Chains A and B, each alone.
Chain A
Amino acid sequence: MPDGDVQTMTRQRPGEMPRHWLLLAAVGTLLLAAARSGTAVTLIPLNGPTGKIVQVVAASGSEIDRVVVEGQQVRLAGAGTMALFTIPYGLPPGPHPVEVYDKAAALLGKPFFVVDATKTAPVPQLTGHELGYLTRHEPGTAGGGPRPVIRLVLYGSGFDTNSVVVLDDRELERSFPPGVPVSLFDETFLSTEYDRLLVALLDPAHDLTKGAGPYAVVVRNRVTGQRTDAYNVVIPERRILVEVHRMTSDKPGFSPPDEPEVVERSTSHELNSLRRIFTDAGYLLDIRHQGPQRWTHPEEAPSHPELGVGPFFSDREAVEFDRCLATLRWTAAENGEWYVHVSLLSRLATGDAEVLGLTLNESTRQGVAIFTSAIARGDDGSGQADPQQVVRTFAHELGHALNLTHCEDDGEHLTLMTRSELAATKWTFTFSPGSRTHLTGHPLCEVMPGRGNLPLNSPKRIEPWCGR
C-alpha cells in the first residue's frame, strides 16, 4: 500500500448487507442517474477512498472550469476537457454527486463518485528533485514564439491536487502548456503508481536563473495545511543542449524506443531520469528531440532476412548517422555553448562485441550514439529496450562527452561510468565521487565538449581518482 494510503476498514456485522452489494447498488444507481441525465461527463475511476485523485473528462468537448463535490468546490489540476481533482477527506462512505461546470457556468454533468473507504490525509514528504531546461511554445501569448523555462519536478509522497509548491515563502502556481491534454502529464504531474511527482514550470526570466539558489522549497497542502520539510534546490549554472536524433525504421525486428520520453524518464518504478541524474551532478539538461526519421522504403527490408542476423546498423542508418555528423560539424557552436549530439540507432555488432553506445573522441566529444536494439537484445525476450538500460547508457555516453572515463579504480563499481558492470542491473544511477569532482571541479577545457577542448583520455587530463 502506498505511503499515506491508509484505509479505514470496517467489518461486516451480522444482518448487514455485504459491502460489495452496497457498492454494486451504488454504482447501479450512479449509472442509472447518468443514463437519465444523459451526462457528457465521465469520472475515472467511479469509486475509491477519500483522497483519491480522480480524472474528470468532458466527452462533449466542452472545457471544464469548475467541479463541485457535495457542494464544495475542489481544486482542479489541468485544463480543457480533462482535469484532475482530489476526493475530499471528510466525505463519508457512499455515493456523492460531482457537479461539473463549464466556463459559462453551465452544468456539463453530475455523475456520482462512490466513496468506499475513508482515509486520513498523509503527511507530504519530499525525497528528490530534477530540473530541466525546456522550450515552451506559446504562440498565443504576447511576444509569441518559444520561451525558455526551467521545469522543477519534485519527487516525494503524499501529494495530491491540493498540493502547492512554496519557493522561498512564495507560493507557485502549477501551470500547463495551453492546449496540451492533461493526460499527457498525469504521470509526470501526479502518479498513484509510485513515488508521486509534482511539477512546477518556472520561468527563468522571472523566477529562476542558471546558477541561482539555493531556494528553500516546501510542498504544502492547501486543504489539510500539512507541509513538507524545507528542501534546498540549486539551479545549476551549466546547461547542456542535448539534441537527440532518433533514427527509426520499418525494418522487421527494428525496435527503437517508441516514445521519446523513454530516454528522458524511466517508466518503471525506479525514478531514474536523465534530468535527475544530471541535476544531481550539477548540470541542467536541455533535451531536444529531432525526428523520428522513419523510413518506409520497401527496399529497407533486408532482401534476404533469413540470411541476416537481425536488425543492424543499416546502410541507410549509416547515411543518417553521417548526416548527423555533418550536422554536428556545421551546427556545433564554439561560442561557449555546451552541446552534445546524440544519435539513437539500432545496432552495431562488430563480430566480437555488441556495441551499446559510442562516443566520437575527437577533440569535440560532441557526438555520441546509442544502439537501442543492442541494448534490448535478449534481455527480457521482448526485444524491447529496457528504459532503465537506455537511460543508463545515455547517461554513460553523456558522461564520456563530458570527458569522464571508465573510472573503475575509485571503488564505485555500480556507478554510471563503470564499464565492467555495463550489463548489470543494480546501478546506482549516480556518478561516483571522483566523476563528480571532475564534472564540477576541473578546468572547463577538460570537461566542456567542443573543438579545442581536451579529448577523452587525454594524458593532459588530470585524473586523480583513477590513479592513472
Chain B
Amino acid sequence: MTAASMARRVAWLAGCMLCNTVACAAEPASFSFDLVPREVSIVVGEPVVLEGRITNHSPKSAQVAPLFDPAYGLASYVIKRRDREPERFQPYVIYDAVPLTHPLAPGDVLRGSVPISCGAEGYVFKDPGLYMISGSFQDIQAVPVTVSVRAPAPGAEAQQAAVMSQADACHFLLMQAPRSFEDAAKEVQRAFNQPAHGALWRAAGLVLMEDSEGREDLGSCAARLDDPQRALDLAGQIGAGPPLTGQLRLRFLERAISASVAANQPEAGRAYYNQLVSEFQRDNRAQYIITHSFGLLHLADPFIVLKAIPITVTVAGAALPAACSAESVEMAPRTGRVRVKRSLAAAITSLRAEVSGVHEVDRQTGLAAGRATVVAPIQASGHEPQEVEVQLRLRGTIDKQVSGRVEIDRSALPQGLEIEPAALRVNFKLRVPCYRQSFDLPLDRIRLRPTGAYSVGSRVGVELAVPPDLQELIIGADIEGSSQVRIHRH
C-alpha cells in the first residue's frame, strides 16, 4: 500500500466517523451543525436550497468530510409538514464513497449543499404550506429550519409545479437529463417553452442547451437552438435568476461557456469561466468540467487558454540597472496563477506581468507554438520604488516540444526606460509532458534602466519569438497539483 493510499484510508476512517474525529480532537459538543436556507419562501416546483455548515468550536483542528448530501449516508434529514407525521428524506441515489476530508481549524466553518428537493419518490415539497426541516450530521443535530412553500399562480407557475411534481421530471433533472426519462424530458421542454421564470424553467433551459443526443458535444447548443445569441441570452437570464446549486450550477456554467463560444463572445465566456473557477475550486468534478471547457474553448475560439496568470517581479535597490536574478516562481494550484519573485537593483520595486494568453491551438495536439508578447504598462514615474504592470501575451501554436527565444522589441520601450542588454536573447524550449504542464518564462535576463523621467501609462513591449530550434519553455497550468514553475538561466 502506498503512503497516499494509507493516508486516504486514514482520512476515510477519520472522515466517515466525524464523531470519532471530534473525539480525537475535542468533545463532540465542540462542533455544531447548522442548516441555512438560501430562500425561506419558494413556489411549489422550485428546489429548496439548503446550505449545511459544520463549525469547529474546539481549540484543535479536525479533519472533516463535509458530505451533507444525504446520499452519502453521513447526514440525514427529517421533513415535517404541519399536521403530518415527520418523514425521513430518502435520497434517490445512495453513494458508497470514500470521503475526502478537509482540515477544519478552530473557529472555522465548512460549508456544503444539502440537496433534499428530489428524493427516491420524487419532488418533496408538492403541497403548499410550512415545512420544518431538521437534520443531523454524524449525530450532531442541527436546529430545525422552516421553509414556506406557496401555491403556484395559475398559468406558467402552475405548469411548472405540475411538471416538477412528477417523480420522473424531478429525477430527470437530478440525474442531469438521462435519455431514459424521455417522457419527462418532453414535459420539461413543454414547460420550458412557457414564459416562466422559476427554477424549473432555468433547469429546463440547461437541458435544452444540451445536444438532444446526449453530452457528446457540449458545444452543440448553438445548433440545437439554431441561434447562438439566443443561447447566450438564455444563459444570461438563467444566471440572473435565483442561484442554481450543485451539479445544475456546474452544468449551467459549462453550457454558458459553450454558448459564449458559439456566439463568438469570448469575454462573456471568460466571465462564466471565471465564475466556474472561483465557485468550484475545491470540486474535482468542476476540475473535470474546467478541463473539458479548456478543450472546448481550444476547439472553438482561443481566448482563454492561459487565463490571467499574474507574474509579480520584485525589483529591489535604488538604481537601475543591475542584473535581475530569479528567486522563485510559485503557481497557485487550480487557478493557474503564477507569481514570480525576482530581484533587480532598480528603482522599480515590482514588476507584475499578466499572461492574458491569446493562444492559438493546434487541433491535433491541443497545443500551440508561435509568438508571445510581454507588454508592461508603467504605472508610476520617477526613480522611486514603483510597480510596473507587465502583460505577457502568448500567440501561436505550441507543439509537444518546441524551442524558442526571448527577444526584446526595443521600439516598444517607453520613453525614459531602457532595457539591457540591447540585444536580449533568451533561449527556451517548450515541452508539454502528459498530465503536467508548467509555465516557465526566461525573464531573468531582462534589465530595466531609467534614462530619464518616465510616465504613468507607458508600456514596455517584449516580444517572444518561438522558432523551432531553441531550448526550453514549459507552459501550462496544472489545476490539480501543486506544480511549481522554475526559471532557467540558459
A interface residues, Cβ below 8 angstroms from B: 252, 302-310, 312, 315-316, 318-319, 321-323, 325-329, 349-363, 374, 377-381, 393, 396-397, 400, 406, 419-420, 422-424, 455-459
Contacts and interface: CB of A to CB of B under 8 A. Distances in A.
Given A316-B216, A420-B17, A423-B8, A306 B436 contact: yes
A370 to B, nearest CB: 9
Contacts of A305: 434-435
A306 B112 CA distance: 28
Given A304-B366, A318-B215, A362-B167, 15 more contacts: A306-B432, A306-B437, A309-B291, A322-B178, A323-B179, A325-B180, A326-B180, A351-B280, A351-B285, A352-B283, A359-B94, A377-B5, A377-B8, A400-B94, A420-B16
A381 B2 contact: yes
B121 interface: yes
Contacts of A358: 71, 93-96
Contact of A456 (B94, B295, B476): B94
B142 interface: no
Nearest to B86: A459
A309 B292 CA distance: 11
A329 B286 CA distance: 30
A422 B96 contact: yes
B477 A423 contact: no
Contacts of B100: 351-354
A329 B2 CA distance: 41
Interface residues of B, number: 71
Interface in B148-179: 167, 171, 175-176, 178-179
A379 B283 CA distance: 22
Contact of A355 (B95, B215, B437): B95
A211 to B, nearest CB: 30
A416 to B, nearest CB: 11
Contact of B478 (A252, A307, A318, A419): A307
Contacts of B175: 325
B93 A378 contact: no
B98 interface: yes
Interface of B: 1-2, 4-5, 8-9, 12-13, 16-17, 65-67, 71-73, 87-88, 90-100, 102, 112, 120-121, 167, 171, 175-176, 178-180, 214-216, 218, 280, 282-288, 290-292, 294-295, 298-299, 366, 432-437, 476-480
A137 to B, nearest CB: 30
Contacts of A328: 180
26 contacts: A304-B291, A306-B432, A307-B476, A309-B480, A316-B216, A322-B180, A323-B179, A328-B180, A352-B100, A353-B95, A354-B100, A355-B96, A356-B98, A358-B71, A358-B93, A361-B92, A361-B94, A361-B120, A374-B98, A379-B2, A400-B96, A420-B13, A420-B17, A422-B16, A422-B97, A423-B9
Contacts of A400: 94, 96
A353 B72 contact: yes
A308 B96 contact: no
B98 A354 contact: yes
B265 to A, nearest CB: 22
B97 to A, nearest CB: 4
B98 to A, nearest CB: 4
Given A358-B93, A360-B92, A419-B96, A352 B112 contact: yes
Given A305-B434, A323-B179, A380-B2, A363 B120 contact: yes
B120 A362 contact: yes
A303 B288 contact: no
Contact of B8 (A303, A319, A378): A378
Contacts of A310: 435
B120 A303 contact: no
B65 A378 contact: no
B295 A304 contact: yes
B63 to A, nearest CB: 12
Contacts of B112: 352
A262 B415 CA distance: 72
Nearest to B366: A303
Contacts of B87: 459
B99 to A, nearest CB: 5
Nearest to B438: A306
A252 B433 CA distance: 13
A319 B2 contact: no
A355 B97 contact: yes
B73 A379 contact: no
Contacts of A422: 12, 16, 96-98
Contacts of A362: 92, 120-121, 167, 171
Contact of B98 (A318, A322, A353): A353
A359 B434 contact: no
A323 B214 CA distance: 10
B299 A303 contact: yes
Contact of B88 (A349, A352, A424, A457): A457
A419 to B, nearest CB: 6
A306 B216 contact: no
A349 B284 contact: yes
Contacts of A374: 98
A306 B90 contact: no
Given A307-B478, A406-B73, A420-B17, A353 B5 contact: no
A361 B12 contact: no
A349 B433 CA distance: 24
B179 A326 contact: yes
B96 A356 contact: yes
Contact of A307 (B1, B8, B66, B479): B479
A377 B93 CA distance: 23
Contact of B290 (A307, A327, A456): A307
A252 B434 contact: yes
Contacts of B171: 362
Nearest to A309: B480
Given A306-B476, A322-B178, A349-B284, A361 B90 contact: yes
A458 B88 CA distance: 8
Contacts of A352: 65-67, 99-100, 102, 112, 282-283
Contacts of B93: 358-361
Contact of A302 (B99, B291, B299): B291
B104 to A, nearest CB: 13
Nearest 6 pairs of A and B residues by beta carbon: A303-B295, A351-B283, A322-B178, A326-B180, A353-B97, A325-B180
